[in-house]
Amino acid sequence: MNYTFLKLGSFFALLGVVLGAFGAHGLKSYLTVDQLATFDTGIRYQFYHALALILLAILTAPMKNSPWLRNAGWLFTAGIICFSGSIYLLACRIFLGIESWWWLGPITPIGGTLFIIGWGMLFFAAIKQE
């Protein structure tokens, strides 16, 4: 088992619960319905990929610590930070007073691309095991 990915997956899942509760209760008065929906998208993708990291942690033993799995895990981690992190900041930028941070927008699709490549790595790890 890869305990690094288990720790990362558990941390991102825990953070997803905290941010989800904060978004639903703490930000409800400050964000528009559209901004809250955007924030929720970040939470959802963070959770999907936190669970994917936990799955990768479990798969590393039977798949002999595949480099494809390791790469997928690091891509999922970077994707969570780039995609979900930028989504949270974009949704809250007026609230946080960072409206001028124009460069946040292009970070979101970079994170999405990292997720896609990570899933491709998982796919190739499965092919390599056959």
**Distance separating alpha carbons of residues 109 and 86, to the nearest angstrom:** 10
Give which of 55, 62, 82 is closest to 129, Cα–Cα.
Answer: 62
| pLDDT less than 70: residues of the chain | none
Q: How far is CA 126 from CA 19, 62, 129, in A?
A: 33, 11, 5
At 96 the pLDDT is 94
**Distance separating alpha carbons of residues 67 and 86, to the nearest angstrom:** 28
At 7 the pLDDT is 97
At 129 the pLDDT is 81
Structure pTM? Answer: 0.94
At 94 the pLDDT is 93
At 12 the pLDDT is 98
Tell me the backbone φ, ψ of residue 16, rounded to 5 degrees: -65, -40
**Distance separating alpha carbons of residues 23 and 40, to the nearest angstrom:** 8
At 65 the pLDDT is 76
Decide if 81 contacts 53 (C-beta within 8 A): no
